[in-house]
């Protein structure tokens, strides 16, 4: 089982809450907090699952998705799980002792093969609750798998993962929140928060020497699902991804599975938001440039990374493989 280590001297207190298998590393130069996760020692490979938009106490087929995740994770011997946000519906957690944490997470993803680290980002529904509860390392005492920050980096040797807090980018949550209340503690003033985040991300991507660069956020850059493209990310985030040779952008938010290839760069846009409730038939048919796959049901993704090759597979709630993407450095093919 792999682990993570904190890189900011000011955050060494987190060590008190981190399980014993975690390796501590320090790098005071990084703006975004950086954590290490070892690759498979035998062949320097890395395998993980991706699930998004899941926290519904087992309903809307969440339990069935979790069961199939356990089977696939066992077969692939995964290293960790990535959550693309909207971890707890409808309004995040009410605090660190909210029973929804167990009912929607610990009691659902029970397979032995899913007991590895979970790297989580926040979604817009998480921002409707007590955001600091999900960020609190005390949750690791309740379930050792849980790890969540706003934005952070996971260095897994052959791949670097850049987790980005996308919710504060979206204008409507600030200016047209309807009857929702968002927890913006730690985000305001918004302009400064976003400016610093983009600057730190750009610097980290430029400095990265990883063979594979993978960015993870809740909101899609490209999508033909219910929400469609996130215009704020197209404007502010996409140019940074394109300029720094990012290989994959992984997201949730749209409750579907999809794969879109960029028509102007090497980026593969991969949506895994089928963790529970899905939106059948909700598709934008007039925005199909680069679309390779779309499925309007529940499911999840697996990603297998080797030095020169990546294999991405999409699964439904029966464990059927719906779509496979194979990437190679210098060569790309889709099955």
- pLDDT of 308 reads 94
DSSP H helical ranges for the chain: 62-76, 100-101, 131-135, 139-142, 172-175, 190-207, 231-236, 238-243
Which of 37, 125, 144, 227 is flagged as catalytic?
A: 227
DSSP H helical ranges for 208-269: 231-236, 238-243
53 in a labelled binding site: yes
Strands (E), the chain: 34-36, 46-51, 80-83, 117-120, 146-148, 152-155, 159-163, 212-216, 248-251, 257-261, 268-272, 291-295, 299-305, 309-316, 321-328, 331-334
- Is 60 exceeded by the pLDDT of residue 261? yes
196 in a labelled binding site: no
What is the pLDDT confidence band of residue 288, given thresholds at 50, 70 and 90? confident
259 in a labelled binding site: no
Q: Per the structure block, which two tokens stand in for 309?
A: 């090759």
- pLDDT of 287 reads 73
**259 is known as an active-site residue:** no
Q: Once rounded to an integer, what is the mean pLDDT over residues 188-198?
A: 97
28-42, 74-88, 93-107, 108-122: range with lowest mean pLDDT: 28-42
- pLDDT of 99 reads 98
- Is 60 exceeded by the pLDDT of residue 32? yes
- pLDDT of 282 reads 85
- pLDDT of 7 reads 39
125 in a labelled binding site: no
180 in a labelled binding site: no
Output the pTM of the full model.
Answer: 0.90
**DSSP 8-state assignment for residue 9:** G
Domains of the chain: 34-328 (3.60.21.10)
- Is 60 exceeded by the pLDDT of residue 160? yes
Question: What is the pLDDT of the chain when averaged over all its residues?
Answer: 90
- Is 80 exceeded by the pLDDT of residue 331? no
Nearest CA to 252 among 144, 147, 167, 137?
Answer: 167
- Give the percent of the chain with pLDDT over 90: 84
């Amino acid at each position: 089982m792999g682990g993570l280590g904190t890189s900011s001297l000011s955050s060494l207190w987190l060590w008190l809450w981190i399980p014993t298998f975690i390796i501590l590393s320090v790098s005071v130069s990084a703006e975004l907090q950086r954590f290490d996760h070892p690759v498979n020692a035998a062949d320097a490979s890395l395998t993980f699952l991706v699930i998004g938009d899941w926290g519904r106490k087992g309903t809307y087929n969440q339990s069935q998705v979790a069961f199939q995740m356990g089977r696939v994770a066992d077969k692939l011997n995964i290293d960790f799980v990535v959550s693309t946000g909207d971890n707890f519906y409808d309004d995040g957690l009410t605090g660190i002792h909210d029973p929804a944490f167990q009912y929607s997470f610990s009691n659902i993803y029970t397979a032995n093969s899913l007991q590895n680290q979970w790297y989580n980002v926040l979604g817009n529904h998480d921002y409707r609750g007590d955001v600091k509860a999900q960020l609190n390392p005390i949750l690791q005492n309740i379930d050792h798998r849980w790890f969540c920050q706003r934005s952070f980096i996971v260095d897994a040797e052959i791949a670097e993962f850049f987790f980005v807090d996308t919710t504060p980018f979206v204008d409507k949550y600030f200016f047209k929140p309807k009857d929702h209340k968002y927890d913006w503690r730690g985000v305001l003033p918004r302009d400064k928060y976003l400016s610093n985040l983009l600057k730190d991300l750009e610097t980290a991507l430029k400095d990265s020497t990883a063979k594979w660069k993978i960015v993870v956020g809740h909101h899609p850059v490209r999508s033909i699902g219910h929400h469609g493209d996130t215009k704020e990310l197209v404007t502010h985030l996409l140019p940074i991804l394109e300029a720094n040779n990012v290989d994959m952008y992984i997201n949730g938010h749209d409750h579907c599975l999809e794969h879109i290839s960029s028509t102007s760069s090497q980026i593969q846009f991969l949506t895994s938001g089928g963790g529970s409730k899905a939106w059948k038939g909700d598709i934008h048919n007039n925005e199909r440039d680069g679309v390779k796959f779309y499925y309007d049901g529940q499911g999840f993704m697996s990603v297998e990374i080797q030095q020169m090759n990546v294999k991405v597979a999409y699964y439904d709630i029966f464990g059927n493989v719906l779509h496979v993407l194979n990437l190679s450095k210098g060569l790309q093919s889709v099955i």
